[in-house]
Amino acid sequence: MGEMINLTAEDGHKLSAYIKPRRAASPAAPWS
């Protein structure tokens, strides 16, 4: 799940938004 953040529109209106970061590449296994 992502998270809710707050944005501000150009007229000052505050709105919420659901944001989900890009899925990070899997780290290399320690034995690789």
Q: Does 13 bind other proteins (CB under 8 A)?
A: yes
CB 15 within 8 A of CB 9: yes
Q: How far is the CB of 18 from other proteins (least distance, A)?
A: 4
Total residues interacting with other proteins, rule: CB under 8 A: 19
Q: Does 22 bind other proteins (CB under 8 A)?
A: yes
Binds other proteins by CB under 8 A, chosen from 11, 26, 30, 31: 11
Q: Does 26 bind other proteins (CB under 8 A)?
A: no
CA-based nearest residue to 4, from 15, 14, 17? 17
CA-based nearest residue to 20, from 6, 2, 8, 32? 2
